[in-house]
Amino acid sequence: MSGHLSQVEISEWLAGIRAGGAERHLAECAGCAAELERAGEPFERFGTATRAWCASQTPVLWPQPAAPMARRWRRFTTWGVALAAAALLVAAPVYQHREHQRALEMARQDELLLEHVQTEVSRSAPEPMQPLEKLVAWNLPSGQSGSSQ
Ligand SMILES: [Zn+2]
């Protein structure tokens, strides 16, 4: 590098663009180091003033960004699953009770049918001939009659 640093090179140095040649020259040349310090002074003061102003301000509570769609959907799904589980807990005993009632009703109907069949089978004579049965005296032990009704 020939000569001192140009204004562009000093500005680049202040902006953080550090070329190897400029660094070497600044280490050797007190004039350029002083120029760099003088050029950077306003930035330093601006930075100090900005930090002081920021420290004096009350913190601003920025509004929270709305929950992303995925999170909202996950929350919705979680509530849906919880509601479904609760509904199942309520519905299952009701369903079981109904099934039990239906089984009882079927058993009762089966019993009635069986009773009916037994009545039909145990008849000593077909229904149209039953009035005749009453006319005939059977030799049965006392306390029992010929017809079951
Ligand atoms: Zn120089």
Ion ligand 1 neighbours, Cβ < 5 Å: 4, 29, 31-32
Q: What is the pLDDT of residue 62?
A: 76
Q: What was the pLDDT predicted at 120?
A: 78
Whole-number pLDDT of residue 93: 86
**Predicted local distance difference test score (pLDDT) of residue 61:** 76
Q: Mean pLDDT throughout 24-52?
A: 93
- Extract the tokens encoding 14: 């202040």
Alpha helices by DSSP H, listed for 123-148, are 130-135
Tell me the CA–centroid distance for residue 141 and ligand 1, in Å.
145
Q: Where are the domains of the chain?
A: 7-56, 69-123
User: What span, in angstroms and rounded, lies between the C-alpha atoms of 39 and 14?
Assistant: 8
* Element at 9 (helix H, strand E): helix 7-14
pLDDT at 67: 65
Query: Residue 24 C-alpha to ligand 1 middle, in angstroms?
Result: 10
Å from CA of 39 to ligand 1 middle: 14
Q: Is the pTM of this model over 0.75?
A: no
> pLDDT tens digits, residue range 101-129?
999 999 999 999 999 888 878 877 777 87
- Res 30: pLDDT: 95
Ligand 1 mean position, distance from CA 28 (Å): 8
Does residue 133 carry a pLDDT above 90? no
Q: How far is the CA of 44 from the centre of ligand 1 (A)?
A: 22
CA–centroid distance, residue 17 to ligand 1 (Å): 17
> Could you give the angle at which helices 30-56 and 20-28 cross, rounded to 10 degrees?
110
